[in-house]
């Protein structure tokens, strides 16, 4: 598979100002019946950066993530990948454009092995006529999975272990690794450490750092402000369905983040 090498090969480590954002949302509107979850939201991800997306409950984080991953096509607005406008009508469209998402709860198939999960929907088939009959090349997938996990520093007993037998942290690492391996542009992580302990959280964040260092862009949705400041390069704040602020993580404190989320400072005040 080798998603990480391909991700680095054709990308530059340091983004230039001329390079368009790898993923960009402009003026996204999304309504559910009478509820307007997103009211012209903007969002920007540049190559090789970790962007945290934060916001109070109901600010529209999940909805924005779902439009960016093709689950909820937006009612209005534009999504651009590498500067080119794209239409994400299904999750498959988003994945074709190199945007992979790890959802909070539905990340993996518990009964399948680690290797099978990493290749789910992208199985390697045997070469020749047997492959055309749908015959799996399990050996190639085992080797590929082991190599990719090793590269990301994900430690699990064996790639043949069913996911159900892994710990919560290992499970989440596999889910995150799966997205990183296949993504060519952006990995979106929705609350990847919400259910994890301290050590396990550290492992997941290590995987994220390695991916970023390899040139991958990562979007991280999180409620954990210290964690956001620890891992993110930039923070985008969503409030009432719109972007309320764009901040550099090394220039702000958790108090600033909370203030931006709740709107108690004057950063980009709401229209009344």
Partner 1 sequence: MSSVEATAGTQRGELSDWFRERISHAVSEFTAATALVVLFIALTFASPYFLTADNLFNIGAQTAVIAIIATAQTMVIITKGIDLSVGSVAALAGVLGAMVVRDLGFSLWAATAVAIGVGALAGLLNGLLVTVARIPPFIATLGTMSVGRGLVFIITGAVGVYGLPRSFQLLGNGEILGIPFAVVITVLVAVGVAFLLSQTRFGQYTYAMGSNLEAARRSGIRVGRHLTGVYVLAGVLVGLGGMIAASRVNSGQPNYGISLELDVIAAAVIGGASLFGGQGRIVGTIIGAFLIALVRNGAVLLDISIHYQQVIVGVIIWAAVYFDQYRRRRLESRG
Interacting residue ranges for partner 1, rule: CB under 8 A: 71, 91-92, 95, 101, 103, 106-112, 116, 120-123, 125, 133-136, 138, 157-158, 160-162, 164-168
CB of 246 to partner 1, least distance (A): 29
Cross-strand pairs, 26: 78
Tell me whether residue 44 or residue 193 sits nearer to partner 1 (CB atom): 193
Cα gap 114→251, rounded to integer Å = 39
CB of 252 to partner 1, least distance (A): 34
* Residue entry with tokens 């500067």: 83
What are the C-alpha distances in Å from 66 to residues 4, 94, 120, 175? 24, 10, 20, 17
Tell me whether residue 11 or residue 101 sits nearer to partner 1 (CB atom): 101
Those residues whose C-beta lies under 8 Å from the C-beta of residue 155, and which sit 6 or more positions away, are 149, 170, 203
The gap from C-alpha 22 to its chain's centroid, in whole angstroms, comes to: 13
CB of 102 to partner 1, least distance (A): 10
Tell me whether residue 138 or residue 210 sits nearer to partner 1 (CB atom): 138
The gap from C-alpha 243 to its chain's centroid, in whole angstroms, comes to: 18
Tell me whether residue 173 or residue 249 sits nearer to partner 1 (CB atom): 173
CB of 180 to partner 1, least distance (A): 15
| Burial (CB count within 10 angstroms: exposed 0-12, middle 13-18, buried 19+), residue 172 | buried
Cα gap 202→206, rounded to integer Å = 6
Q: What are phi and psi of 81, to 5 degrees?
A: -115, 120
Tell me whether residue 110 or residue 150 sits nearer to partner 1 (CB atom): 110
Tell me whether residue 171 or residue 234 sits nearer to partner 1 (CB atom): 171
CB of 201 to partner 1, least distance (A): 15
CB of 43 to partner 1, least distance (A): 21
């Amino acid at each position: 598979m080798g998603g990480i090498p391909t991700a680095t090969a054709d990308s530059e480590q340091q983004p230039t100002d001329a390079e368009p954002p790898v993923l960009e949302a402009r003026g996204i509107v999304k309504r559910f019946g009478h509820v307007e979850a997103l009211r012209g939201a903007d969002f920007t991800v540049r190559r090789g950066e970790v962007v945290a997306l934060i916001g109070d409950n109901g600010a529209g984080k999940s909805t924005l993530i779902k439009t960016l991953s093709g689950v909820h096509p937006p009612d209005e607005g534009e999504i651009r990948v590498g500067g080119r406008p794209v239409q994400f009508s299904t999750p498959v469209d988003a994945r074709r454009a190199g945007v992979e998402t790890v959802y909070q709860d539905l990340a993996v198939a518990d009964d399948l092995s680690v290797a099978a999960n990493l290749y789910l929907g992208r199985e390697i088939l045997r070469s020749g006529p047997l492959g055309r009959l749908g015959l799996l090349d399990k050996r190639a997938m085992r080797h590929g999975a082991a190599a990719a996990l090793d590269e990301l520093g994900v430690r699990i007993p064996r790639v043949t272990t069913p996911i159900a037998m892994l710990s919560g942290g290992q499970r989440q690492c596999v889910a995150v690794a799966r997205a990183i391996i296949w993504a060519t542009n952006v990995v979106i992580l929705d609350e990847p450490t919400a259910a994890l302990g301290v050590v396990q959280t550290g492992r997941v964040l290590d995987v994220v750092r390695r991916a970023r260092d390899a040139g991958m862009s990562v979007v991280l949705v999180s409620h954990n402000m210290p964690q956001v400041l620890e891992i993110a390069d930039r923070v985008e704040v969503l409030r009432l369905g719109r972007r309320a602020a764009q901040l550099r993580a090394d220039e702000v404190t958790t108090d600033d983040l909370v203030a931006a989320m709740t709107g108690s400072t004057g950063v980009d005040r709401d229209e009344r």
